[in-house]
Amino acid sequence: MAQTTGMCQVPPNSCTVASAPTTQWLAQDMVLKGLHTINVNKAPGPDGIHPRVLRELGAELQWPLFLIFSDSLSSGMVTRDWKKANVIPIFKKGVRSQPGNYRPVSLTSVVGKLFESLLRDHIQNYVLENAIMSSNQHGFMKDRSCQTNLIAFYDEVSKKLDSGGAVDIIYLDFAKAFDTVPHKRLLSKLRSIGLSEVICTWIENWLQDRVQRVVVNGTFSTWSKVLSGVPQGSVLGPLLFNFFINDLGEGIMSNVSVFADDTKLCRPVNSIQDVTSLQQDLDQLAIWAAKWQMRFNVDKCKVMHLGCKNMQAPYTLNGTALGKSIMEKDLGVLVDNKLGCSKQCQAAATRANKVLSCIKRGIDSREEGVILPLYRALVRPHLEYAVQFWSPVLKRDIIELERVQRRATKLVKGMESLSYEERLAKLGLFTLEKRRLRGDMITMYKYIKGSCNNLSNVLFTSRSFQRTRGHPLRLEEGRFHLNIRKGFFTVRAVKLWNSLPESVVLPDTLYSFKKGLDGFLASEGIQGYGR
């Protein structure tokens, strides 16, 4: 007889490959690969199974886990341990006594998440093959990111402003978006896109009878039922949420951009009719939210007016006037109504300097092997997050960011008396300005030849190739009137991209491109744009 764990039947040890319950897409080698890529630094879930155990015993566990996964999927039954979550409250800001000021981080079964990851990859392949997901969605999508979202959306905004027009941007905020997704409506959408009934049945069972408890300083609350929402801390949850809001932009005439639940829309507003059309789109979104039992947090929804001829028109959502804003934090980047980057540069430098000060005070060692890894891991990411979108143009901003790296390199023992250039050479570092330029070219490669090439047709226009001049991937250099357009990624990076030798641009791997690019930049002595 097969043994039963929770609600999932486990086949006996005598089960052979031929008799194992399986599906067409799930294979034993996929389980082994998943076990070998488990992050051993992650915390275990309520079942107490540590990820290191799973990774170290991958060869021994691949077969029994394959049997469990196969049986779970074919039977549509999910073990209870995979439906439990320990919720760790992480303080954000504000008053500590207010529960709303904490971010809930859910820890679920590592074994369960391993199967979720295999199922997610299978579903994503189906989505890509059938072009199901909206092109406006950038969250939790392969080869898309916060940076691709920001570049695509504000490229359109900067174009309209450069042509002398006005633009209104509406920033929308869903109230507890992931926690309020109604399960029956979600499942109806999953079936409507053609997912197999086997997978839909498994997901339906996985969503049912979930429980969670709060853990604070090793003390556990009682278990409470989860009645709605996609499970936070899960691997499948973000993908399911994307499916749920996939039709959000249907019937909307304005430009809609989505990253998970972060939604914004923009429209040129050069007439009263334009304002009316944008308001109608807002009304349409309110109707969508009501239909699918979602709710906008109207107090956090804002409108930003851009352009010197902007009419500053008022907008409402569900009958409530939207507040006006001159600066918003969009996916972690400060964006103002001038599309300038100075505020973001200041914020990034401030965050990086705070971390650098903590390292200086808290770490006694000044050895290169200690300071340099800490700088690369904890400081520099603050200066380069989505920087291809907000790369500084003004000299004072460039200097402000570079000053952080100057401070960091001086911390290393034996570097105090050397010039900045000498310190960089000894430590094997580029200036941040050169790293941004190099990053621009790497990002261009991803758009034109690499993993992001499905976005390139929207952002760039190919130039007719002449064998006697340049490489075959040259692009049209966009015209501009305003500095905000001149400094935008899709304009500033094209000229240098067009100047790259054919031997640098044409290799098919990103590694080969980087190698050729570094050689070209070194031979030409290029440190930044215009130099």
Higher pLDDT, 140 or 12: 140
- CA-closest candidate to residue 108, choices 84, 90, 89: 84
pLDDT value for 529: 67
* DSSP-derived secondary structure for 263-298: EEEEEE-SSHHHHHHHHHHHHHHHHHHHHTT--B-G
pLDDT band at 466 (very low <50, low <70, confident <90, very high): low
The lowest-confidence range among 62-76, 304-318, 512-526 is 512-526
Mean pLDDT (the chain, rounded): 90
Q: Is the pLDDT of residue 469 over 80?
A: no
Q: Is the pLDDT of residue 487 over 60?
A: yes
pLDDT band at 482 (very low <50, low <70, confident <90, very high): confident
Q: Is the pLDDT of residue 13 over 70?
A: no
The lowest-confidence range among 7-21, 107-121, 352-366, 466-480 is 7-21
Q: What is the CA radius of gyration of the chain?
A: 26
Q: Give the torsion through C-alpha atoms of 376, 380, 386, 389, to 10 deg.
A: -130
pLDDT band at 23 (very low <50, low <70, confident <90, very high): low
Q: What is the CATH number of domain 146-179+241-331?
A: 3.30.70
**Residue range 376-380: average pLDDT?**
97
Q: Is the pLDDT of residue 316 over 90?
A: yes
pLDDT value for 517: 94
Q: Which residues on adjacent β-strands are paired with residue 3?
A: 10
**Residue range 100-124: average pLDDT?**
92
Q: 3-class secondary structure for 329-395?
A: EECCEEEECCCCCHHHHHHHHHHHHHHHHHHHHHCCCCCHHHHHHHHHHHHHHHHHCCHHHHCCCCH
**Residue range 259-285: average pLDDT?**
96
- CA-closest candidate to residue 310, choices 329, 322, 324: 324
pLDDT value for 446: 94
492-526 pLDDT, tens digit each: 999 999 999 999 999 999 999 999 999 999 888 77
How far does the chain reach from its first CA to its final CA, in angstroms? 75
pLDDT band at 2 (very low <50, low <70, confident <90, very high): very low
pLDDT band at 468 (very low <50, low <70, confident <90, very high): low
Q: Is the pLDDT of residue 311 over 90?
A: yes
Q: What percent of the chain has pLDDT over 90?
A: 76
pLDDT value for 20: 37
Q: Can you give the length of the chain in residues?
A: 531
pLDDT value for 467: 61
Q: What percent of the chain has pLDDT over 70?
A: 94
Domain ranges of the chain: 3-132+184-219, 146-179+241-331, 342-429, 435-524
pLDDT band at 11 (very low <50, low <70, confident <90, very high): very low
**Residue range 473-502: average pLDDT?**
91
Asked if residue 442 lies in contact with residue 516, where contact means CB atoms within 8 angstroms, the answer is no
212-243 pLDDT, tens digit each: 999 998 899 999 998 888 987 899 999 999 99
- CA-closest candidate to residue 263, choices 296, 220, 307, 217: 296
**Residue range 267-276: average pLDDT?**
96
H or E element, residue 320: strand 320-321
Q: How far is CA 27 from CA 69, 182, 236, 341, in A?
A: 10, 32, 19, 49
**Residue range 79-108: average pLDDT?**
89
DSSP 441: H
Alpha-carbon gap, residue 342 to 387, rounded angstroms: 12
**Residue range 337-349: average pLDDT?**
96
pLDDT value for 19: 37
**CA angle in degrees (0–180, nearest 5) for 235-236-237:** 95
**Residue range 126-152: average pLDDT?**
91
Q: Which residues on adjacent β-strands are paired with residue 334?
A: 329
